[in-house]
Amino acid sequence: MKNKVVILRTENLTKYYTSGYVFIKKVLGAENVSFSLEKGEVLSLVGESGSGKSTVANMILRLVKPTSGKIYLGDRDIYSYSETDYWRRVQVVFQDPYSTFNFFYPVDKPLMDCFDLIEGASLGNERYPKAERQKIIRTTLEKMGMNPDEILGRYPHQTSGGQMQRLLIARALIIGPDVLVADEPTSMTDASTRVAILNELVRLKKEKEMAVLFITHDVAQAYYISDKTAVMKGGRIVETGVPEKVFFDPEDPYTKSLIASVPKLHERWDFSE
C-alpha cells in the first residue's frame, strides 16, 4: 500500500466579505474550513448555491485572500510560491469555461501558452519546439475524445460548452499540475458529455495521481467521483467522510435534507454505461 501524501491542506480557512463605507456590513463567505487533499484523491465539496464552496475554491486559487486561516500546498503556505510556480502546480476548470478563453484568439492559443508556464520562459526561449507543442496538444485532445482537426483553429464562440470544458481539462493535462480545482465542471454539458468529463477526472487521478477538488451541488456526481466528501452549509463544513457514509448514513440534519431532495437515492448510481 502506497504512503498517503497530503498535497493540499486548509486550516480554519475563513472569509468575510465587506461592503459599505460608513456602515460596514460583513457577509460570511466561509468559516473555519479545514480539510486535507491527498495525492491521487478526489475530494468533493457539496452544497447548495451560496454554501461557500466557490469561496473556498477562490481562496485556494489565490483569487480571494482569506480573512484568516492558512492554505498549504505541500508543506508551504501558498503565498510563499511565485505566481508561475503556483500555477504550474494548481490548475482550475471553471464553471463557465467561456470566461477563461479570450474570444479574439482561437482555442489553440491557451493550449500553446501552457508550455510557457511549464518552462517558466517567454516565447522565443523555449525548450519545446512549435512542432513538438502541436504534437502534444493533438495527442492530449485525442485522449479527451476530441478530434484535433475539428477543434483546433476554432474560436470559443464556435465551440459548445462541453467542448470548452474538455479543452480546459486538456490544458490542465498538458501542464500536469499536482492539484486540479474543478468548480462545477459539468454545468454546461449534456448527459453524455457529463459522463465523459467525470470519467476523465477519474482517469487523471488514477493514472497521473492528480489530486482533484471537485465542487458541485450534484449529490450523484459527488458520490460517483469522490474518495472523500465534505458537505457545506452557510460557509461551514457540517459533515465529512467517505461517500458511502455521508450519503447513505448521514448524521447532520442538513446532509439528511440534502439527500432527501435527491430522487431514488437508495439506488446506487452507475455512470459507467
Stretch 8-19: mean pLDDT: 94
Q: Tell me the average pLDDT across 194-222.
A: 88
Q: Write down the pLDDT at residue 267.
A: 54
The least confident of 46-60, 190-204, 209-223, 246-260 is 190-204
DSSP 269: P
- Average predicted confidence (pLDDT) for the chain: 87
What whole-number percentage of the chain has pLDDT above 90?
51
Amino acid (1-letter code) at residue 21:
Y
In this structure, the number of other CB atoms found within 10 A of the CB of residue 253 comes to: 11
pLDDT in tens, 29-66: 999 999 999 999 999 999 998 899 999 999 999 999 99
pLDDT of res. 97: 76
Mean pLDDT of 122-134: 70
Q: Is the pLDDT of residue 15 over 90?
A: yes
All structural domains of the chain = 40-60+82-260 (3.40.50.300)
Indicate if the alpha-carbon torsion angle 106, 112, 117, 120 is positive or negative: negative
Greatest alpha-carbon pair distance for the chain in Å reads: 59
Q: What is the reported pLDDT for 55? A: 95
List, in order, residues 6 or more apart from 217 with CB less than 8 Å away. 46, 47, 48, 49, 53, 184
Residue type, 241: G
pLDDT in the model for residue 122? 43
| Cell matching residue 105 | 484568439
* pLDDT interval class at 120 (50, 70, 90): low
pLDDT at 47: 92
Please name which of 272, 264, 266, 263 lies closest in space to residue 248, comparing C-alpha atoms: 266
Close Cβ partners of 18 (under 8 Å, ≥ 6 residues apart): 24, 25, 26, 27
Query: By mean pLDDT, which of 12-16, 35-39, 162-166, 251-255 is the weakest?
Result: 162-166
Report which secondary-structure segment, H or E, holds 46.
Answer: strand 42-46
Among residues 204, 128, 127, 119, the alpha carbon closest in space to that of 166 is found at 204
Judge whether residue 219 has pLDDT over 70. yes
Q: Give the contacts of 159 (CB within 8 A, at least 6 positions apart).
A: 107, 151, 167
* pLDDT tops 70 at residue 265: no
What is the total residue count of the chain? 273
The mean per-residue pLDDT over the stretch 189-197 comes to 77
